[in-house]
Amino acid sequence: MFGGVFARGSAIIDDRAWLQAMLDAEAGLARALERAGLAPAGAGEAVTREARANDFDIAELGELSALTGNPVPGLARALAVKVGGQQGRAVHRGATSQDILDTAAMLLARTAIDAARADLTAAAAAAAALATEHRTTPMIGRTLLQQAVPVTFGAVAAGWLAALDAAITGLAETRRTRLAVQFGGAAGTLASLGPDGIRVKAMLADELQLADPPVPWHTERLRIIDVGVAMARVTAALSKIARDVTLLAQTEVAEVAEGGGGPDGGGGPDGGAAPRRGGSSAMPNKSNPVAAVAILGCAKQGPGLLATLLASAEQEYQRAAGAWHAEWQPYGHLLQLAVSAAAWARDLLTNLKVDKPRMAANLTEAGGLPLAERVTALLRGSLGAPVAHDLVAVAAARSASSGIPLRDVLLATPEIEDKLAAAGITPAQVEQALDPASYLGASQAFITGALTAHEAGSGA
């Protein structure tokens, strides 16, 4: 029902994905056992051939999991039956249920990271293009949701770009250093495999292209937490971008709008016009920022899911009684939400429409008030900081209450005009101080810095 919003992207982390990852772990183990001489010739290929999720009944496995507290025993039994004969005895040999589930979790993480990175990389490229194109596009800056000094939309996009690049780097580092096979057997000693256990563990890691950790990590859960943190960082970075877009796309602001398309369920039940992106079931006039809203919907769930993973890290002895089990669903959900948010972000930034005239109009309608800081700085040298601040504050208050531009208040109010003249401040200087394009500070340097860092990272 909610997959169109929360299960977007090239990787779907659902029950079937979990099942396939567990089967991949079992198949990898069978191949490793054969390589070690602990399984008949051809066992690895036979198990791999039967390890197809579509050939198993997920509902039945779910029912069987009630008998053992997890789905692996039922799955291992069913897989062994499918393989049959001597080769079927290679299924699950030396492993415990947690070995298979934890290894599956690492395989899912790799899949999710690769999917999210691809979409985030495209989103970052789009942000870089926006930063480049709008380097000098002035707009009102806003702090505490109130108008502040001018910025450029290029600087805003450069900030988005820096966050996207940081999220991508975090995913890459997690993939490189924290994804490891789990193989320790009943209590983390691999006793059932005798002296061959360490060798099989290394071969299993090689088969699945995961790291071979020095010890099993059954009740040391930092790898799971690190994956969760990397995914939560993705949703956190994207939530800032999405929130900016929802605010800038408000009817009263209207400085950006979403592009893109596709159905959103907004069409009428009577077979009328096809649904359109951003439509409303009640209000035909609406054009909602669906991609940004969907990203926020994904991101809002992240902190709670990550908190569950953190709370589950306290695990008893060599196998947790409940804490390990508590990880499975929030872990999978967090992977999926990060993948979905990244896919929405690619759509959002690739198709974002920027309304430069509207940005300019909003600056003009502000009546020069966003430049009050600069006017104060102009007067400070002649009048002193307290007097300059108070004079501009009075002028700004009159401008705001009357709707008269700050320029006219400063140059047409006798008592203020007299003070400016006494301070040697000319009308031309006031006009210059109220020009947004000349009060953008280090915006260009910041944009260049973000773009340079992005290009360096992209080339790594």
The residue annotated as part of the active site, out of 77, 319, 380, 398, is 319
Active-site residue 319, yes or no? yes
Q: 């056992």: which residue's tokens?
A: 33
Q: How does DSSP assign 298-326, residue by residue?
A: HHHHHHHHHHHHHHTT---TTS-SSHHHH
**Is residue 460 packed enough to be buried (19+ CB in 10 Å), middle (13-18) or exposed (0-12)?**
exposed
The residue type of 131 is: A
Maximal CA-CA distance, the chain: 102
Active-site residue 443, yes or no? no
**Contact, 354 vs 329, CB < 8 A?**
no
**Is residue 382 packed enough to be buried (19+ CB in 10 Å), middle (13-18) or exposed (0-12)?**
middle
Can you tell me the distance from the alpha carbon of 418 to that of 406, in angstroms, rounded to the nearest whole number? 16
Can you tell me the distance from the alpha carbon of 236 to that of 164, in angstroms, rounded to the nearest whole number? 10
Dihedral sign (CA 410, 416, 419, 421): positive
Can you tell me the distance from the alpha carbon of 423 to that of 425, in angstroms, rounded to the nearest whole number? 6
Can you tell me the distance from the alpha carbon of 156 to that of 308, in angstroms, rounded to the nearest whole number? 33
The residue annotated as part of the active site, out of 192, 280, 281, 438, is 280
Catalytic residue IDs: 280, 319
